[in-house]
Structure 1
Amino acid sequence: MTESGAPPEPVERLVDASTLAGVPDGFQRLWTPHRMAYIQAGPEPLKHECPFCEAPKKSDEDGLIVVRGEHAYALLNLFPYNSGHLLVCPYRHVSLYDDATPEETTEIAELTQQAMRVLRKVSRCDGFNLGINQGAVAGAGVEAHLHQHVVPRWNSDANFFPIIARTKALPQLLGEVRQAVADAWA
Protein backbone atom coordinates (compact mmCIF):
# COMPACT_ATOMS: atom_id res chain seq x y z
CA MET A 1 0.00 0.00 0.00
CA THR A 2 1.11 3.52 -0.72
CA GLU A 3 0.85 6.40 1.76
CA SER A 4 -2.57 7.23 0.32
CA GLY A 5 -3.74 3.69 0.97
CA ALA A 6 -3.94 2.77 -2.71
CA PRO A 7 -2.29 -0.41 -3.97
CA PRO A 8 1.13 0.15 -5.59
CA GLU A 9 1.39 0.37 -9.37
CA PRO A 10 2.37 -2.98 -10.90
CA VAL A 11 6.04 -3.16 -11.88
CA GLU A 12 6.67 -4.51 -15.36
CA ARG A 13 9.38 -7.16 -15.16
CA LEU A 14 11.59 -8.23 -18.00
CA VAL A 15 11.08 -11.94 -18.53
CA ASP A 16 13.72 -12.46 -21.22
CA ALA A 17 15.96 -10.27 -23.38
CA SER A 18 14.02 -11.00 -26.57
CA THR A 19 11.27 -8.71 -25.32
CA LEU A 20 13.67 -5.77 -25.71
CA ALA A 21 13.83 -5.97 -29.49
CA GLY A 22 12.53 -2.77 -30.98
CA VAL A 23 12.16 -0.94 -27.68
CA PRO A 24 13.44 2.59 -28.34
CA ASP A 25 16.23 3.61 -25.98
CA GLY A 26 18.24 6.22 -27.90
CA PHE A 27 20.93 3.83 -29.13
CA GLN A 28 21.50 2.56 -32.64
CA ARG A 29 22.84 -0.98 -32.73
CA LEU A 30 25.30 -2.30 -35.24
CA TRP A 31 24.82 -6.04 -35.45
CA THR A 32 28.09 -7.61 -36.62
CA PRO A 33 27.85 -11.26 -35.55
CA HIS A 34 30.42 -12.41 -38.16
CA ARG A 35 33.12 -10.59 -36.16
CA MET A 36 32.66 -12.99 -33.23
CA ALA A 37 34.59 -15.72 -35.09
CA TYR A 38 37.55 -13.36 -35.40
CA ILE A 39 37.33 -12.24 -31.77
CA GLN A 40 37.08 -15.79 -30.43
CA ALA A 41 39.99 -16.98 -32.60
CA GLY A 42 42.37 -14.67 -30.74
CA PRO A 43 45.35 -12.87 -32.21
CA GLU A 44 46.28 -15.62 -34.67
CA PRO A 45 43.17 -16.92 -36.46
CA LEU A 46 43.73 -20.10 -38.44
CA LYS A 47 47.30 -20.40 -37.12
CA HIS A 48 47.66 -24.04 -38.15
CA GLU A 49 45.98 -24.02 -41.54
CA CYS A 50 46.08 -21.64 -44.48
CA PRO A 51 42.60 -20.21 -45.13
CA PHE A 52 43.47 -19.64 -48.81
CA CYS A 53 44.49 -23.28 -49.29
CA GLU A 54 41.38 -24.50 -47.42
CA ALA A 55 38.75 -22.30 -49.13
CA PRO A 56 38.98 -23.94 -52.60
CA LYS A 57 38.37 -27.37 -51.00
CA LYS A 58 34.92 -26.18 -49.86
CA SER A 59 31.77 -25.36 -51.79
CA ASP A 60 31.69 -21.82 -53.15
CA GLU A 61 29.11 -20.85 -50.52
CA ASP A 62 31.07 -22.30 -47.59
CA GLY A 63 34.40 -20.96 -48.84
CA LEU A 64 32.87 -17.55 -49.74
CA ILE A 65 34.27 -17.99 -53.26
CA VAL A 66 32.69 -15.83 -55.95
CA VAL A 67 34.65 -17.08 -58.96
CA ARG A 68 37.26 -19.77 -59.73
CA GLY A 69 39.82 -19.33 -62.48
CA GLU A 70 42.51 -21.69 -63.72
CA HIS A 71 45.39 -20.31 -61.59
CA ALA A 72 43.60 -18.01 -59.14
CA TYR A 73 40.22 -17.35 -57.56
CA ALA A 74 38.32 -14.55 -55.81
CA LEU A 75 36.56 -14.84 -52.46
CA LEU A 76 35.03 -12.56 -49.88
CA ASN A 77 37.21 -11.52 -46.98
CA LEU A 78 35.90 -13.30 -43.87
CA PHE A 79 36.80 -10.18 -41.83
CA PRO A 80 35.97 -7.39 -44.32
CA TYR A 81 36.80 -3.70 -44.05
CA ASN A 82 33.70 -2.93 -46.16
CA SER A 83 30.85 -4.94 -47.66
CA GLY A 84 32.09 -6.61 -50.82
CA HIS A 85 35.76 -6.72 -49.69
CA LEU A 86 37.24 -9.36 -52.01
CA LEU A 87 40.55 -11.19 -51.99
CA VAL A 88 42.14 -12.53 -55.18
CA CYS A 89 44.50 -15.45 -54.52
CA PRO A 90 46.51 -17.96 -56.49
CA TYR A 91 45.63 -21.58 -55.73
CA ARG A 92 49.29 -22.31 -55.20
CA HIS A 93 50.63 -21.65 -51.69
CA VAL A 94 53.13 -18.90 -52.47
CA SER A 95 53.82 -15.94 -50.20
CA LEU A 96 55.50 -13.28 -52.33
CA TYR A 97 54.30 -11.55 -55.48
CA ASP A 98 57.66 -11.97 -57.16
CA ASP A 99 57.48 -15.74 -56.57
CA ALA A 100 54.18 -16.02 -58.48
CA THR A 101 54.31 -17.40 -62.01
CA PRO A 102 53.47 -15.17 -65.00
CA GLU A 103 50.22 -17.13 -65.40
CA GLU A 104 49.29 -16.52 -61.76
CA THR A 105 50.05 -12.78 -61.88
CA THR A 106 48.14 -12.40 -65.15
CA GLU A 107 45.06 -14.12 -63.76
CA ILE A 108 45.26 -12.22 -60.45
CA ALA A 109 45.31 -8.97 -62.46
CA GLU A 110 42.42 -10.06 -64.68
CA LEU A 111 40.30 -11.20 -61.73
CA THR A 112 41.05 -7.93 -59.91
CA GLN A 113 39.84 -5.91 -62.91
CA GLN A 114 36.70 -8.04 -63.20
CA ALA A 115 36.11 -7.75 -59.44
CA MET A 116 36.15 -3.96 -59.78
CA ARG A 117 33.62 -4.08 -62.63
CA VAL A 118 31.33 -6.45 -60.74
CA LEU A 119 31.50 -4.50 -57.48
CA ARG A 120 30.71 -1.23 -59.30
CA LYS A 121 27.65 -2.92 -60.82
CA VAL A 122 26.47 -4.69 -57.65
CA SER A 123 27.25 -2.07 -55.00
CA ARG A 124 27.57 1.19 -56.95
CA CYS A 125 30.81 1.99 -55.11
CA ASP A 126 32.67 5.24 -55.81
CA GLY A 127 36.23 3.87 -55.73
CA PHE A 128 38.53 1.12 -54.47
CA ASN A 129 41.49 0.38 -52.27
CA LEU A 130 43.66 -2.25 -53.97
CA GLY A 131 46.67 -3.77 -52.33
CA ILE A 132 48.93 -6.65 -51.48
CA ASN A 133 50.55 -6.61 -48.04
CA GLN A 134 53.83 -8.54 -48.21
CA GLY A 135 54.97 -9.83 -44.81
CA ALA A 136 53.71 -9.24 -41.29
CA VAL A 137 55.66 -5.97 -41.02
CA ALA A 138 53.61 -4.67 -43.98
CA GLY A 139 50.30 -5.65 -42.40
CA ALA A 140 49.70 -9.07 -43.95
CA GLY A 141 47.24 -11.00 -41.77
CA VAL A 142 48.04 -14.19 -43.68
CA GLU A 143 51.59 -13.62 -44.87
CA ALA A 144 52.25 -17.16 -46.12
CA HIS A 145 49.74 -17.02 -49.01
CA LEU A 146 49.70 -14.22 -51.56
CA HIS A 147 46.38 -12.35 -51.79
CA GLN A 148 45.28 -9.08 -53.38
CA HIS A 149 42.69 -6.96 -51.53
CA VAL A 150 39.89 -5.33 -53.52
CA VAL A 151 38.02 -3.05 -51.12
CA PRO A 152 35.05 -1.08 -52.47
CA ARG A 153 34.72 2.46 -51.11
CA TRP A 154 31.87 4.95 -51.06
CA ASN A 155 32.00 8.71 -50.57
CA SER A 156 30.06 8.33 -47.33
CA ASP A 157 31.60 5.13 -45.91
CA ALA A 158 33.95 6.72 -43.37
CA ASN A 159 32.90 7.33 -39.78
CA PHE A 160 34.51 7.39 -36.35
CA PHE A 161 33.79 3.78 -35.33
CA PRO A 162 36.97 2.21 -36.76
CA ILE A 163 39.10 4.93 -35.18
CA ILE A 164 37.77 5.10 -31.63
CA ALA A 165 35.92 1.81 -31.19
CA ARG A 166 37.81 -0.55 -33.53
CA THR A 167 34.38 -1.42 -34.95
CA LYS A 168 33.31 -1.48 -38.58
CA ALA A 169 29.63 -1.29 -39.44
CA LEU A 170 28.77 -3.54 -42.38
CA PRO A 171 25.27 -3.27 -43.84
CA GLN A 172 25.11 -6.74 -45.44
CA LEU A 173 25.74 -10.30 -44.32
CA LEU A 174 28.61 -12.16 -46.00
CA GLY A 175 26.34 -14.78 -47.58
CA GLU A 176 24.17 -12.10 -49.20
CA VAL A 177 27.20 -10.26 -50.57
CA ARG A 178 28.79 -13.47 -51.89
CA GLN A 179 25.59 -14.41 -53.70
CA ALA A 180 25.14 -10.97 -55.27
CA VAL A 181 28.75 -10.78 -56.46
CA ALA A 182 28.79 -14.39 -57.73
CA ASP A 183 25.51 -13.84 -59.61
CA ALA A 184 26.84 -10.67 -61.27
CA TRP A 185 30.19 -12.19 -62.29
CA ALA A 186 30.26 -12.65 -66.06
Structure 2
Amino acid sequence: MTSEPEQQTGVGEPDAFQRLWTPHRMAYIKGEGKPTGPAPDDGCPFCQIPKMDDESGLIVRRGEAVYAVLNLYPYNGGHLMVVPYRHVADYTDLDPAETLELGEFTKRAMTALRKASGAQGFNIGMNQGHVAGAGIAAHLHQHLVPRWGGDTNFMPVVGHTRVLPQLLAETRAMVADAWPSD
Protein backbone atom coordinates (compact mmCIF):
# COMPACT_ATOMS: atom_id res chain seq x y z
CA MET A 1 0.00 0.00 0.00
CA THR A 2 1.39 3.44 -0.94
CA SER A 3 0.83 6.42 1.23
CA GLU A 4 -0.44 9.75 -0.04
CA PRO A 5 2.10 12.61 -0.14
CA GLU A 6 1.85 14.87 2.86
CA GLN A 7 -0.02 18.10 2.12
CA GLN A 8 1.50 21.43 3.11
CA THR A 9 -0.82 22.82 5.72
CA GLY A 10 0.67 26.15 6.66
CA VAL A 11 2.83 28.99 5.54
CA GLY A 12 6.41 28.68 6.67
CA GLU A 13 6.28 24.97 7.44
CA PRO A 14 9.23 23.06 6.02
CA ASP A 15 8.32 21.31 2.77
CA ALA A 16 11.76 20.75 1.19
CA PHE A 17 11.28 23.48 -1.45
CA GLN A 18 13.68 26.36 -1.94
CA ARG A 19 12.00 29.61 -2.96
CA LEU A 20 13.33 32.42 -5.08
CA TRP A 21 11.11 35.45 -4.64
CA THR A 22 10.50 37.68 -7.65
CA PRO A 23 8.01 40.29 -6.43
CA HIS A 24 8.65 42.54 -9.45
CA ARG A 25 6.80 39.95 -11.58
CA MET A 26 3.52 40.66 -9.77
CA ALA A 27 2.92 43.73 -11.98
CA TYR A 28 3.06 41.45 -15.03
CA ILE A 29 0.85 38.80 -13.44
CA LYS A 30 -1.77 41.40 -12.49
CA GLY A 31 -1.63 42.94 -15.95
CA GLU A 32 -0.56 46.35 -14.69
CA GLY A 33 0.38 48.72 -17.49
CA LYS A 34 -1.53 46.76 -20.13
CA PRO A 35 -3.65 48.71 -22.59
CA THR A 36 -7.29 49.23 -21.68
CA GLY A 37 -8.38 48.90 -25.31
CA PRO A 38 -7.13 48.43 -28.87
CA ALA A 39 -6.43 52.09 -29.77
CA PRO A 40 -2.99 53.73 -29.41
CA ASP A 41 -4.38 56.17 -26.83
CA ASP A 42 -5.73 53.29 -24.71
CA GLY A 43 -2.39 53.06 -22.90
CA CYS A 44 -0.38 51.03 -25.41
CA PRO A 45 3.15 50.68 -23.98
CA PHE A 46 4.60 50.13 -27.46
CA CYS A 47 3.29 53.57 -28.45
CA GLN A 48 4.60 55.14 -25.21
CA ILE A 49 8.11 53.63 -25.21
CA PRO A 50 9.42 55.60 -28.26
CA LYS A 51 8.53 58.85 -26.45
CA MET A 52 11.06 57.95 -23.72
CA ASP A 53 14.82 58.26 -23.87
CA ASP A 54 16.58 55.04 -24.83
CA GLU A 55 17.75 54.16 -21.33
CA SER A 56 14.37 54.72 -19.65
CA GLY A 57 12.49 52.89 -22.40
CA LEU A 58 15.08 50.08 -22.67
CA ILE A 59 15.39 50.88 -26.37
CA VAL A 60 18.38 49.20 -27.98
CA ARG A 61 18.09 50.83 -31.41
CA ARG A 62 15.69 53.09 -33.31
CA GLY A 63 15.01 52.79 -37.02
CA GLU A 64 12.77 54.66 -39.44
CA ALA A 65 9.78 52.31 -39.14
CA VAL A 66 10.63 50.02 -36.19
CA TYR A 67 12.62 49.97 -32.97
CA ALA A 68 14.29 47.25 -30.89
CA VAL A 69 13.49 47.20 -27.18
CA LEU A 70 14.30 44.84 -24.33
CA ASN A 71 11.38 42.88 -22.96
CA LEU A 72 10.53 44.16 -19.48
CA TYR A 73 9.55 40.60 -18.49
CA PRO A 74 12.17 38.51 -20.32
CA TYR A 75 12.20 34.76 -20.85
CA ASN A 76 16.01 34.85 -21.01
CA GLY A 77 18.67 37.50 -20.62
CA GLY A 78 18.77 39.65 -23.77
CA HIS A 79 15.15 38.89 -24.75
CA LEU A 80 14.17 41.77 -26.98
CA MET A 81 11.40 42.72 -29.34
CA VAL A 82 11.28 44.46 -32.69
CA VAL A 83 8.26 46.76 -32.77
CA PRO A 84 6.82 48.96 -35.51
CA TYR A 85 6.20 52.55 -34.46
CA ARG A 86 2.83 52.42 -36.17
CA HIS A 87 0.07 50.94 -34.01
CA VAL A 88 -1.00 47.85 -35.99
CA ALA A 89 -2.14 44.52 -34.65
CA ASP A 90 -1.46 42.08 -37.46
CA TYR A 91 1.63 41.24 -39.49
CA THR A 92 -0.40 41.61 -42.69
CA ASP A 93 -1.10 45.24 -41.73
CA LEU A 94 2.57 46.22 -42.17
CA ASP A 95 3.49 48.13 -45.29
CA PRO A 96 6.47 46.94 -47.38
CA ALA A 97 8.95 49.37 -45.75
CA GLU A 98 7.89 48.27 -42.24
CA THR A 99 8.13 44.60 -43.21
CA LEU A 100 11.60 45.10 -44.68
CA GLU A 101 12.95 47.01 -41.69
CA LEU A 102 11.44 44.55 -39.22
CA GLY A 103 13.35 41.78 -41.00
CA GLU A 104 16.58 43.79 -41.13
CA PHE A 105 16.30 44.69 -37.42
CA THR A 106 15.76 41.03 -36.60
CA LYS A 107 19.00 40.11 -38.39
CA ARG A 108 20.92 42.94 -36.68
CA ALA A 109 19.51 42.02 -33.28
CA MET A 110 20.72 38.44 -33.75
CA THR A 111 24.17 39.71 -34.70
CA ALA A 112 24.28 42.05 -31.69
CA LEU A 113 23.10 39.37 -29.25
CA ARG A 114 25.65 36.87 -30.55
CA LYS A 115 28.42 39.44 -30.16
CA ALA A 116 27.29 40.72 -26.76
CA SER A 117 26.33 37.46 -25.09
CA GLY A 118 27.54 34.53 -27.18
CA ALA A 119 23.97 33.41 -27.93
CA GLN A 120 24.06 29.97 -29.55
CA GLY A 121 20.53 30.02 -30.92
CA PHE A 122 17.28 31.99 -30.94
CA ASN A 123 13.56 31.63 -30.60
CA ILE A 124 11.99 34.22 -32.92
CA GLY A 125 8.30 34.76 -33.31
CA MET A 126 5.08 36.72 -33.05
CA ASN A 127 1.94 35.84 -31.16
CA GLN A 128 -0.92 37.14 -33.29
CA GLY A 129 -4.04 37.72 -31.16
CA HIS A 130 -4.89 36.98 -27.55
CA VAL A 131 -5.80 33.37 -28.33
CA ALA A 132 -2.27 32.85 -29.70
CA GLY A 133 -0.69 34.15 -26.51
CA ALA A 134 -0.14 37.82 -27.32
CA GLY A 135 0.08 39.77 -24.07
CA ILE A 136 -0.47 43.00 -25.98
CA ALA A 137 -2.39 41.93 -29.07
CA ALA A 138 -3.26 45.42 -30.31
CA HIS A 139 0.33 46.33 -31.24
CA LEU A 140 2.43 43.93 -33.29
CA HIS A 141 5.80 42.96 -31.84
CA GLN A 142 8.29 40.24 -32.72
CA HIS A 143 10.19 38.46 -29.95
CA LEU A 144 13.85 37.47 -30.17
CA VAL A 145 14.88 35.21 -27.31
CA PRO A 146 18.58 34.28 -27.21
CA ARG A 147 19.31 30.69 -26.21
CA TRP A 148 22.33 28.81 -24.89
CA GLY A 149 22.97 25.12 -24.37
CA GLY A 150 21.66 24.18 -20.94
CA ASP A 151 19.67 27.39 -20.40
CA THR A 152 16.54 25.36 -19.68
CA ASN A 153 17.20 23.80 -16.32
CA PHE A 154 15.16 23.09 -13.24
CA MET A 155 14.53 26.79 -12.47
CA PRO A 156 12.03 27.54 -15.28
CA VAL A 157 10.86 23.96 -15.77
CA VAL A 158 10.21 22.97 -12.15
CA GLY A 159 10.57 26.23 -10.24
CA HIS A 160 8.64 28.39 -12.72
CA THR A 161 11.27 31.08 -12.19
CA ARG A 162 13.65 32.75 -14.64
CA VAL A 163 17.14 33.58 -13.48
CA LEU A 164 18.56 36.65 -15.20
CA PRO A 165 22.26 37.34 -14.74
CA GLN A 166 22.18 41.13 -15.00
CA LEU A 167 19.97 44.18 -14.70
CA LEU A 168 17.99 45.20 -17.77
CA ALA A 169 19.80 48.56 -17.98
CA GLU A 170 23.14 46.72 -18.21
CA THR A 171 21.78 44.32 -20.84
CA ARG A 172 20.40 47.25 -22.88
CA ALA A 173 23.77 49.01 -22.90
CA MET A 174 25.63 45.81 -23.79
CA VAL A 175 23.35 44.96 -26.74
CA ALA A 176 23.19 48.57 -27.96
CA ASP A 177 26.99 48.72 -27.98
CA ALA A 178 27.15 45.48 -29.97
CA TRP A 179 24.52 46.58 -32.54
CA PRO A 180 26.02 46.41 -36.06
CA SER A 181 26.54 49.61 -38.04
CA ASP A 182 23.67 50.82 -40.16
TM-score for the superposition, normalised by structure 2: 0.81
Deviations along 1:27-59, one digit per CA (max 9) or x if unpaired, are: 9875756435424xx046423311110100000
Tell me the equivalent position of 1:97: 91
Distance 2:18 2:127 in 1: 34
Tell me the equivalent position of 1:115: 109
From 133, 148, 172, the equivalent of 2:127 is 133
SS of the aligned residue for 2:47 comes to: helix
Counterpart residue identity of residue 93, structure 1:
H
Tell me the equivalent position of 1:47: 35
Aligned residues: 159
- RMSD of Structure 2 on Structure 1 (CA): 2.0
Is 1:83 the counterpart of 2:77? The answer is yes
Q: For residues 31 and 64 of structure 1, do their structure 2 counterparts lie closer, same or farther at Cα, with a shift above 3 Å needed?
A: farther
**Structure with bigger gyration radius:** 1
From 96, 100, 109, the equivalent of 1:106 is 100
Deviations along 1:3-42, one digit per CA (max 9) or x if unpaired, are: xxxxxxxxxxxxxxxxxxxxxxxx9875756435424xx0
Distance 1:140 1:80 in 2: 14
From 53, 65, 83, the equivalent of 2:59 is 65
Tell me the equivalent position of 2:140: 146
Is 1:158 the counterpart of 2:152? The answer is yes
Q: After TM superposition, where is structure 1 displaced by more than 3 Å over at least 4 residues in a row?
A: 27-34
Deviation at 1:160? 2.1
Counterpart residue identity of residue 66, structure 1:
V
Deviation at 1:183? 1.3
Structure 1: unaligned runs, 5 residues or longer: 1-26
User: Does the 8 Å CA contact 2:35/2:136 hold for their aligned counterparts?
Assistant: no
Deviation at 1:164? 2.9
Counterpart residue identity of residue 38, structure 1:
Y
Deviations along 1:46-102, one digit per CA (max 9) or x if unpaired, are: 233111101000000111000000000000000000000010010000000001111
Deviation at 1:163? 2.8
User: Does the 8 Å CA contact 1:30/1:169 hold for their aligned counterparts?
Assistant: no
Q: For residues 67 and 136 of structure 1, do their structure 2 counterparts lie closer, same or farther at Cα, with a shift above 3 Å needed?
A: same
User: Does the 8 Å CA contact 1:132/1:149 hold for their aligned counterparts?
Assistant: yes
TM-score for the superposition, normalised by structure 1: 0.79
Structure 2: unaligned runs, 5 residues or longer: 1-16, 37-42
